[in-house]
Amino acid sequence: MIRLTRVTKTYPLLGMARHTVFRNLSLELPSRTHIGILGRNGAGKSTLLRLIGGAELPDRGRVESDGSISPPLGLANGFAVKISGRDNARFVARICGDDDDAAQERIRFVREFSELGVFFDRPVETYSSGMRARLAFSISMSFDYDYYLIDELTAVGDKRFRDKAERTFKEMKGRASIIMASHNLAQLRRDCEIGVYLKGNAVHYYDDIGAAVAAYEHDQRQAA
Amino acid sequence: MPEAESAAQPLIPALPPRVQGRSHLRVFLTALHAFLLRELKQQFGRSRLGYFWAVAEPAATVAVLTLIHAGIRGGEAQIYGAHPIVFFVFGAVPFFTYFHCVNRCQNVCGSHKGLFNYRQIKPVDIMLARAIIEALSMLTVGVLFVIGWLWLGHDFSLPDPLVLLAAMLALFALGLAVGLIFEVFGTVYPDLRRVFTIAMRPMIFISGLFFTIEMIPPQHRHLLTWNPVLHAVDFAREGVLAGYDSPASGSYLLLCILGLLLVAFSAYRRFMYRLI
């Protein structure tokens, strides 16, 4: 379970003004269930993931969890582009404290799972965005976390990769929790059970992802 | 039935478990080690040109300075009983250690945003790794020069190697402190970056790259001796030139380093949330 208690997060604007993303947000996310986060661009999906992942600290309030949380993986993944995918994977393994044998085994898995083929040993700058997403996703999946944070990562992959991600999520069910932000409503409905809808400054929690997607679609239609 | 087979086999096999419960120091050292290797690979791994530029920049500076010196005073003139090339090399190597340490710390926060998603990575890891690589490559340039110099049949003696090493260490610390200050305040207040760039520009002329403190007329010395880099470069010269006894102040240098490091790390801690 991840619990956010009265979390306030603001960003500085020009001068003394601040943009408030969340004010007094209290939210409880259950463990071992997949959670979809929806909302329009700029609603705070990535900020919420970064707060949960500890990459960002709240101005006020607490973020607690009962398990390990992966770093929030998104399209801005911080790969060094001049070195190969293998070297980037090795780097992540290293900073996570793997010794050489463990890193070897993990890299072997990443290579197979990402299906990058010969590109695995080529510089990341030669990758397409889908290939980068595949690499980031595979690296994330090679570690045993209780919560995986995924920020629109699976949206850019091709069909084969999206299917693989779906099967992975299914396999993880009951073992770990995936918290993903996405604009792909069909994918959210298929992969997640619980929905969190960020609407303006309010955060709505739905026990059923279908209801969250319906509410989101309803609001979008109203606006249009 | 390939379908059933792939369904029976788990997509994610049992992998080595994640290492947990590491101490803060351990986390820091692992991150530093990982970054050292990563930066080395980024800088030198792809093309041999990386090595070339590490040597070429100080070499070109030394060549220009030597030519100017020879033009003014003639080719045979010596400085403190040493060949002008030796004199300039051991001004350029220490100075560029400082200069590169500062420069390589810049824009670290902006260009590694994605990496700070990993909680174990902090901007200082990257800056420290880069500064260490810069200092080591300048040290290598110095050693390469000495080897080449001896190989060409000149003599070379190092009267005070410890002073030279201490001076290099001081320049590394100064470079890291100033680089950190520039990066922190430059990230928080982007306009300051321009000020810092302008402030760094005259450094090459006032930091003793091509002169010693003793060469400055005594009545004008106070104009330049506030600069701690000048003191450190002067100490490096003292370590190399048998005929030179530096008037530089070690305690002033040490005070500057400690003061700047204090400012740097306080600002770093204070503005951490803006950096990542």
Quickly count: other Cβ atoms within 10 Å of residue B153's Cβ: 6
| Interval B135-154 mean pLDDT | 93
Same domain (yes/no): A160, A205: yes
Q: Which residues of A touch B3 (CB under 8 A)?
A: none
B259 is a domain residue: yes
B131 is a domain residue: yes
Residue B160: which residues within 8 A CB-CB, separation 6 or more?
B238, B239, B240
d(CA A170, CA B264): 48
Q: What percent of chain B has pLDDT over 90?
A: 66
Same domain (yes/no): A195, A96: no
Count Cα atoms within 13 angstroms, Cβ side, for B102.
Answer: 22
Task: Write down which residue in A121, A144, A167 finishes a domain.
Answer: A144
A107 is a domain residue: yes
Q: Which residues of B touch A8 (CB under 8 A)?
A: none
d(CA B175, CA B202): 15
Q: Do B113 and A95 touch (CB under 8 A)?
A: no
Sheet of A60-65: strand order equals A18-29, A2-12, A60-65
B15 is a domain residue: no
pLDDT along chain A (224 residues), means of 10: 91 83 91 91 89 88 91 80 91 92 94 93 91 91 91 81 88 89 89 90 89 92 84
- Helix spans in B74-83 (H): none
Residue-level pLDDT at B2:
46
Instruction: Identify the CA nearest to A1 among candidates A25, A27, A29.
Output: A29
Task: Write down which residue in A120, A144, A168 finishes a domain.
Answer: A144
B152 is a domain residue: yes
Q: Which residues of B touch A145 (CB under 8 A)?
A: 18
Residue A52: which residues within 8 A CB-CB, separation 6 or more?
A2, A4, A29, A63, A65, A69, A72, A147, A149, A179
Residue-level pLDDT at B243:
87
Same domain (yes/no): A170, A186: yes
Same domain (yes/no): A47, A95: no
Residue-level pLDDT at B3:
46
**pLDDT value at B56 more than 70:** yes
**pLDDT value at B201 more than 80:** yes
A4 is a domain residue: no
Task: Write down which residue in A97, A116, A144 finishes a domain.
Answer: A144
Kindly report, residue by residue over B175-199, the tens digit of the pLDDT: 999 999 999 999 999 999 999 999 9
Under an 8 Å CB criterion, which residues of B touch A? 10-13, 15-20, 22, 26-27, 30-31, 33-34, 37-38, 41-42, 45-46, 112-121, 273-274, 276
d(CA B276, CA B274): 6
Same domain (yes/no): A117, A222: no
What does the CA dihedral A93, A98, A103, A106 come to, rounded to 10 degrees? Answer: -70
Residue B4 pLDDT grade (very low, low, confident, very high; cuts 50, 70, 90): very low
Q: How many structural domains comprise chain B?
A: 1
Q: Which residues of A touch B111 (CB under 8 A)?
A: none
Q: Give the domain range for residue A126.
A: 79-144
**pLDDT value at B249 more than 90:** yes
User: Structure tokens of A94?
Assistant: 């290293």
Q: How many structural domains comprise chain A?
A: 2
B54 is a domain residue: yes
Q: Do A97 and B37 touch (CB under 8 A)?
A: no
d(CA A137, CA B169): 42
Residue-level pLDDT at A76:
67
Same domain (yes/no): A170, A110: no
Provide the ipTM: 0.85
Q: Do B118 and A92 touch (CB under 8 A)?
A: yes
Of A12, A97, A172, the CB nearest to B19: A97
Same domain (yes/no): A166, A140: no
Same domain (yes/no): A192, A122: no
Quickly count: other Cβ atoms within 10 Å of residue A15's Cβ: 6
Same domain (yes/no): A193, A208: yes
A5 is a domain residue: no
Q: What is the mean pLDDT of chain B?
A: 90
B229 is a domain residue: yes
Phi, psi of B74 (to 5 degrees): 90, 155
A16 is a domain residue: no
Residue-level pLDDT at B8:
54
B76 is a domain residue: yes
Q: What percent of chain B has pLDDT over 70?
A: 96
Same domain (yes/no): A140, A172: no
B55 is a domain residue: yes
Q: CATH number for the domain including A196?
A: 3.40.50.300
**pLDDT value at B1 more than 50:** no
Q: Give the domain range for residue B69.
A: 23-275
Same domain (yes/no): A171, A221: yes
Residue-level pLDDT at B119:
86
DSSP code of residue A89: H
